[in-house]
């Protein structure tokens, strides 16, 4: 074996080693990607299960306070259709935090002006939270199907306010009245 042959073989071996290393690196990267995907899928499954265990959530609308996005949420408990209301504040693009009490002062503190608290013309259905909750074909679903189709935002809000009044949840109604007075 002459020197040229030896050099050629040596170079070939080096090339093969480099190729093997590249293949190993690619395999490692693929494995890492698969692991990340599995972790994400596990997180999603867990979140879906947690949401499904909660009562059906119906989103009345988003209220623009001029400072934060504010949402009035109505929970419908499927077993006996008890309605209760909660306020949620959108702190960032993805994070919502809950306001424990539905009082006018809480809303005023968050708003830049009291007149911005409840503006019926600005109510829009929230897609941010709507698709995050699931429910089966329950009594609550059937009740919500009865919501008026025309002028959906205002009419359905009035319907749900009426339902809340029947359930003696007057805070949302008081808030609505105060908001109208300040417009």
pTM over 0.75: no
Summarize the confidence of residues 32-45 as an average pLDDT.
62
Token look-up 């009865």 returns 146
Residue where the block lists tokens 């009291």: 114
Lowest mean pLDDT among 15-19, 85-89, 107-111, 158-162: 107-111
Question: 10 Å Cβ neighbour count for 91?
Answer: 11
Q: What percent of the chain has pLDDT over 90?
A: 0
Residues 121-165 have pLDDT tens digits of 333 333 333 333 333 334 334 444 544 444 344 344 444 444 444
């Amino acid at each position: 074996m002459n020197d040229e042959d030896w050099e050629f073989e040596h170079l070939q071996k080096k090339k093969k080693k480099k190729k093997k290393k590249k293949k190993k690196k690619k395999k490692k990267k693929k494995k890492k990607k698969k692991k990340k995907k599995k972790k994400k899928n596990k997180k999603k499954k867990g979140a879906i299960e947690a949401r499904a265990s909660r009562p059906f959530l119906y989103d009345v609308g988003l209220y623009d306070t001029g400072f934060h996005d504010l949402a009035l949420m109505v929970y419908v408990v499927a077993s006996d259709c008890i309605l209760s209301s909660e306020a949620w504040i959108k702190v960032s693009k993805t994070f919502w935090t809950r306001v424990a009490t539905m009082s006018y002062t809480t809303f005023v503190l968050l708003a830049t002006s009291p007149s911005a608290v409840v503006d019926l013309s600005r109510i829009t259905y929230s897609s941010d939270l709507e698709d995050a909750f699931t429910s089966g074909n329950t009594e609550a679903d059937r009740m919500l199907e009865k919501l008026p189709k025309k002028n959906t935002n205002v009419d359905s809000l009035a319907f749900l306010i009426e339902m809340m009044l029947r359930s003696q949840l007057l805070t949302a109604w008081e808030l609505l009245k105060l908001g109208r007075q300040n417009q």
